[in-house]
Amino acid sequence: MKPFSFLTLPKMTRILAGMIFAGSFAASVYAQQSGLPVNAAASVNGTIITNDMVEQGIKMAISQGQKDSPELRQVVVQKFIEVLLLSQRAEKDGLANSEKANSQLMLIRQNYLADLELSTFMAQNPISDADVQAEYNKQVASLGPQGMINEYKVSDIAVASEADAQAALNRIKKGEPFDKVAKSVSLGPNKAQGGAVGWIQPGQVSPQLAAVLANLSKGQVSPAPIQVQQGWYLVKLEDVRSSKPPTFEQAKPAIRAGLTQKKQYEFVSQIAKDSKIIIQ
């Protein structure tokens, strides 16, 4: 079995906290004299780790390349035990009520609830196969008589705010290379590569980014920050090429992902429209 690396201790802590806030974690449930409750995998000083929690940990491990096995279950249970031991000691040491702990727990709760709200919304408003087929037909029809699709070689810079994006853009306008600025400020996973994304098709990115790319010339950077659901972006068009469109089966995952992102963005935008937002 490969070394257990699917969850670092901090990441496991975040997942465990999410389960606590979701109500999956039965705090202060004590084992019965006859043994642990039916759905209990372990108990740490009377606090139960449920089998449901362990199953979630196993699923995450499998999704990241681990192989399901009795040994994997033992490791997952042990990780939960370690987290509980440390969290209980933190409570005992008075760390749980610190300003830092309260801030982090609030962020964990907010992020978990945000993900839960989006997943619930998508479960109630799923992207159907008919939706995907209609979008594919629309994209193919838009190619014109030659039936070719543009592909873009792109680099990007992802930041948290419009101000950060504008500051990065100002540096680029003053002559700093795009890749240098990306390595300096980008929050994206491609930061170390200078923001390089590679070749993409319009349907693989949000409509906002696709619209900007369609109007850029080779070597040009987006003239203004672009807001999408994940944050604020700057994009640079490195190159353009034309190719035959993929088949429906080939395009289906990317189209479904694009439609999902679009629906989520519209949902969040509507919530924001109906809310009072003040930014300092």
Could you read off the pLDDT of 101-133 as tens digits, one per residue? 899 999 999 999 999 999 999 999 999 999 999
The answer, yes or no, to whether residue 138 has pLDDT greater than 60, is yes
Whole-number average pLDDT of the chain: 85
pLDDT tens track for 175-219 = 999 999 999 999 998 999 999 999 988 777 888 888 999 899 999
Q: Is the pTM of this model over 0.95?
A: no
- Phi-psi category of 258—alpha, beta or left, where left has phi over 0 and alpha has psi -120 to 50? alpha
The answer on pLDDT for 32 being more than 50 is no
- Secondary structure of the chain as H, E, C letters: CCCCCCCCHHHHHHHHHHHHHHCCCCCCCCCECCECCCCEEEEECCEEEEHHHHHHHHHHHHHCCCCCCHHHHHHHHHHHHHHHHHHHHHHHCCHHHCHHHHHHHHHHHHHHHHHHHHHHHHHHCCCCHHHHHHHHHHHHHCCCCCCCEEEEEEEEEEECCHHHHHHHHHHHHCCCCHHHHHHHHCCCCCHHHCCEEEEECHHHCCHHHHHHHHCCCCCCECCCCEEECCEEEEEEEEEEEEECCCCHHHHHHHHHHHHHHHHHHHHHHHHHHCCCCCCC
Question: pLDDT tens digit string along 56-110?
Answer: 999 998 988 888 898 999 999 999 999 999 999 999 999 988 898 899 999 999 9
Place 35 in a pLDDT band, splitting at 50, 70 and 90.
Answer: confident
- What percent of the chain has a predicted confidence (pLDDT) above 70? 87
Q: Average the pLDDT over 231-258 and give the result.
A: 90
pLDDT band per the 50, 70, 90 thresholds, residue 6: very low
Side-chain-side CA neighbours of 155 within 13 Å: the count stands at 21
Write down the pLDDT at residue 97.
87
Q: What is the pLDDT of residues 140-159, one digit of tens each?
A: 887 766 678 888 999 999 99
